[in-house]
């Protein structure tokens, strides 16, 4: 493991990184939020189906 080489590559990446604009941040936030909601909905539906399948159709 070449530590000086690793450090220079990390510094190079940090120098290239920029803060996102407000528009970019909002777009990424919306996409991430939609993904979280979608995964939550899928999990809820699977859980609901499993309850009905294991309890014989009634709660």
- Domain-located, residue 25: yes
The dihedral built from the CA positions of residue 10, 11, 12 and 13, taken in this order, carries a sign that is positive
- Classify residue 45: in a domain, yes or no: yes
- The Cα 53–Cα 26 span in angstroms is 40
pLDDT score of 40 = 98
User: Per the domain annotation, does 54 fall within a domain?
Assistant: yes
Look at the pTM and tell me if it is higher than 0.75: no
Query: Which band of pLDDT confidence, cut at 50, 70 and 90, is reported for residue 39?
Result: very high
Owning domain of residue 35: 20-59
Q: Is residue 4 part of a domain?
A: no
* 40 or 55, greater pLDDT: 40
Please state the domain count of the chain. Answer: 1
Residue 56 DSSP one-character state: T
């Amino acid at each position: 493991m070449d530590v000086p080489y690793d450090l220079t590559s990390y510094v190079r990446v940090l120098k290239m990184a920029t803060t996102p604009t407000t528009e970019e941040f909002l777009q990424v936030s919306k996409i991430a939020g939609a993904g979280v909601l979608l995964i939550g909905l899928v999990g809820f539906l699977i859980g609901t189906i499993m309850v009905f399948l294991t309890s014989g159709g009634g709660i």
